[in-house]
Amino acid sequence: MGQYLAWMMMGVSAVALTACGGGRDSGPSRGRLMAPDRLNAAAFSASGLPSRFGDTAPHEWDGLVPALYSVHGIDAARYQGVIDWSTARNAGVSFAWLKATEGGDHIDPGFVTNAPGARSAGVPVGAYHFYYFCRTPEEQAKWFMQNVPHVPGDLPPVLDIEWNHQSSCKRKPDPLTVRSEMARFVNLLSDHYGTLPVIYTTPDFYADNDLGQMHGAEFWLRTVAAHPSERYPGEDWSFWQYTGTGVVPGVGGNVDINAFGGSPESWSRWLSARRQS
């Protein structure tokens, strides 16, 4: 059995999800892999970032800046095209999560295209799922598992859950329902992959849904203009997404860059404990 989070699950039902649409009758959709130009990170050097990376729209960092952390990685999707993993690794990319699925019928080709290369280059890699509120968590977990193989050594799967104001789905559940759906999704993936998924979220979604109640969750937090301790007071976190406009050698266009919240030694321990087995 997989690991379970001790979250409140009080029988909240899936409220009329079928009425929300979501492309059930249109069949699976697949995004197009892009081919952006690769930028010169040195031309976009930014204060507060590791010197090997750049940023095309940098924040003026001070205090607890990203460069204080030793272990950095990226998250990418079809928009970054084919990644040169040897170059990225040599530049300091120590891990990567790639978008694989969204909702219950969408595939991002970035994962199947880039995951094998990351493994070959020795970059720990995993997949993430973008949550869609007009599909049940069970449907979405099944879709992810159908499209992301269980590969020993890969990183834990990630649940990317945030408000998407551009989505065709206008359902906005109450906080209790949100946390219940998250728990159902996470527990299904935990059983299948043998390791607890990481949860990626944003400041507004975290606050709106009181995610601080989710004791036992491992968080990956987005905050591109302040340290997580400012945007998520009192919350523990393992990963910090500190820019969405990063420039990384070997990666096309802009890319999200992230820091692991510990030393190289704690990163090695984290990998030993959290990789798929």
Catalytic-role residue among 25, 37, 62, 75:
75
Residue 120 amino acid letter:
S
> Which helix (H) or strand (E) is 274 found in, with range?
helix 264-274
Region of residue 172 (phi > 0: left; psi between -120 and 50: alpha; otherwise: beta): beta
The 10 Å Cβ neighbour count of residue 126 is 27
* 209-210-211-213 Cα dihedral, nearest 10 degrees: -140
162 assigned to active site:
yes
Bridge partners, residue 98, by sequence: 76, 127
Which DSSP letter does residue 33 get?
P
Q: H helices of 70-174, where?
A: 85-90, 109-121, 137-147
Pairing of strands 106-107, 125-130: unpaired
175-193 vs 137-147: helix axis angle to the nearest 10? 30
**C-alpha closest to that of 274 among 3, 85, 74, 5:** 3
> What span, in angstroms and rounded, lies between the C-alpha atoms of 231 and 180?
24
Single out the catalytic residue among 60, 160, 162, 181: 162
Q: Clarify whether 75 is annotated catalytic.
A: yes
CA distance 101 to 216: 25
Dihedral of alpha carbons 176, 182, 188, 193, sign: negative
- Annotated active-site positions, please? 75, 162
